[in-house]
């Protein structure tokens, strides 16, 4: 029997894990609405602004919801962040790999108007192997993010995630004070001409994917690095 809670799921367009979560929600709840965001700084459509129900679940979404919309979730509005509390904002995994982290994580937290700022409900840690490139690490991160999302959906079904119970969640995690923007990430992708050999290797590992690649600027011309080896 399906649960009667009304759920709004906000995922990412053309994302395998977002679609899988939505299908899972449809199996478990009678009333599920979905919106797939597709670009940074996208404005929430009218149907999102006016939505009212029990839970908002946000997975890899570009949308930043207003306080009014967040408050329209009677029980909880939860975001699933593809990084641990030490890495906030955009490009978390890029910076973690550049810093040589061998452990990474994903975070479930209450939503607020500020990015990666609400009360942390759970952090799931996992290992990044030295031989992993960025594409492999991203794939693993999104899989772990899917797992923590499903875990919370099951907790909602069991009645363990409700407004009056959330205050019982551990407060042992705190967000980093530093937060990275899209501009920060774009600047990070630039390879400086005087970079050392060690830092060049670190930068390539932290930025090179099939879709996105680092670059160098010479005489105001941008050259894309297109050889991982």
Residues 195 and 114 in one domain: no
Parent domain of 18: 3-166
Work out the average pLDDT over 103-127.
Answer: 92
Is the model more confident about 134 or about 40?
A: 134
Q: How far apart are CA 88 and CA 203, in angstroms?
A: 19
Residue 185 pLDDT level (bands cut at 50, 70, 90): very high
Decide if 175 is inside a domain.
no
∠ CA(161), CA(21), CA(106), 5° rounding? Answer: 65
Asked, for residue 179, whether it belongs to a domain, the answer is no
The arithmetic mean of pLDDT across residues 225-229, rounded, is 70
Structure tokens given for 225: 């690095």
Kindly report the CATH number assigned to the domain that includes residue 118. Answer: 3.40.50.170
Q: What is the pLDDT, as a whole number, of residue 64?
A: 87
Q: What is the mean pLDDT of residues 57-67?
A: 93
For 152-180, what is each residue's pLDDT tens digit? 999 999 988 888 778 767 668 899 999 99
Quick check: 215 pLDDT over 80?
yes
Residue 181, in any domain of the structure: no
**At residue 130, does pLDDT exceed 70?**
yes
pLDDT of residue 166: 80
> Percentage of residues in the chain with pLDDT exceeding 90?
81
State how far the Cα of 195 lies from the Cα of 198, in Å rounded to an integer: 8
Between CA 218 and CA 222 the distance in angstroms is: 7
The yes-or-no verdict on residue 229 having pLDDT over 60 is no
pLDDT attached to residue 173: 86
Give me the number of domains the chain comprises: 2
Domain-embedded: residue 176: no
- In terms of DSSP H, where are the helices of 64-125? 67-71, 92-98
Length of the chain: 229
* Average pLDDT of span 99-106: 96
Range name among 8-12, 79-83, 161-165, 204-208 with the lowest pLDDT average: 161-165
Pairing of strands 120-127, 103-110: antiparallel
Q: Quote the CA–CA distance of 200 and 220 in Å, as a whole number.
A: 20
- Report the pLDDT value the prediction gives residue 44, as an integer from 0 to 100: 87
Dihedral over alpha carbons 126, 100, 182, 176 (to 10 degrees): 70
Supply the pTM of this predicted model.
0.93
Same domain, 99 and 203: no
């Amino acid at each position: 029997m399906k649960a009667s809670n009304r759920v709004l799921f906000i995922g990412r367009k053309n994302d395998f894990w977002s679609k899988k979560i939505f299908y899972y929600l449809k199996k478990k709840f009678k009333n599920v609405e979905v919106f797939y965001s597709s670009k940074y700084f996208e404005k929430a459509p009218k149907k999102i602004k006016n939505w009212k129900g029990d839970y908002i679940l946000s997975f890899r979404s570009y949308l930043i919801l207003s306080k009014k919309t967040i408050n329209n979730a009677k029980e909880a509005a939860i975001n699933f962040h593809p990084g641990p509390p030490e890495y906030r904002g955009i490009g978390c995994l890029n910076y973690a790999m550049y810093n040589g982290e061998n452990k990474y994580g994903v975070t479930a937290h209450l939503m607020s108007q500020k990015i990666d700022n609400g009360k942390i409900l759970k952090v799931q840690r996992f290992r990044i192997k030295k031989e992993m490139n960025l594409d492999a690490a991203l794939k693993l991160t999104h899989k772990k993010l899917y797992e923590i999302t499903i875990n919370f959906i099951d907790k909602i079904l069991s009645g363990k995630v409700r407004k009056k119970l959330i205050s019982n969640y551990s407060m042992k995690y705190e967000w980093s004070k530093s937060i990275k923007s899209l501009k920060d990430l774009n600047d990070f992708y630039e390879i400086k001409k005087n970079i050392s050999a060690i830092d060049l290797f670190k930068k390539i590992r932290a930025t090179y994917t099939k879709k996105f690649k680092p670059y160098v600027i010479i005489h105001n011309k941008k050259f894309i690095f297109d050889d991982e080896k």
